[in-house]
């Protein structure tokens, strides 16, 4: 495992120490690793959203949506056991 040294202001250090002392995290490193995992997850979700937006933009001009036809197709799928 690699080592990373960081500097933080005293109030931030106190915050992390309090979380460790309360048993929320096993160590300062555990807290930082959790933050990194959460940031990676957030970034993955953001990228998936951005990819979907890009795909939508590149898919061409919008087409009219007929609610009644949609409901009919969904009901047919239910009746056929497709859903």
To the question of pTM greater than 0.85 for the whole model, the response is no
Domain boundaries along the sequence of the chain: 10-60
- As averages over each run of 10 residues, the pLDDT of the chain (83 residues) reads 94 98 97 98 98 96 93 94 77
The pLDDT value recorded for residue 20 is 98
Q: What pLDDT shows up at residue 27?
A: 97
> Which residues, including other chains, have CB under 8 Å from residue 28's CB and lie 6 or more apart?
16, 17, 20
Give me the pLDDT at residue 82, please: 76
- The two three-digit tokens of residue 63, written as one number: 């087409």
Given this model, what pLDDT does residue 78 score?
93
**Helix, coil or strand: residue 82:** coil
Cβ neighbours for 4, distance < 8 A, ≥ 6 positions apart: 32
């Amino acid at each position: 495992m690699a080592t990373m040294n960081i500097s933080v202001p005293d109030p931030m250090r106190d915050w992390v120490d309090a979380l460790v002392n309360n048993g929320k995290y096993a160590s300062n490193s555990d807290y930082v690793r959790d933050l990194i995992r959460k940031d990676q997850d957030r970034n993955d979700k953001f990228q998936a959203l951005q990819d979907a937006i890009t795909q939508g933009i590149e898919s061409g001009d919008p087409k009219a949506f007929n609610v009644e036809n949609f409901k009919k197709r969904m009901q047919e799928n239910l009746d056929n056991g497709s859903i």
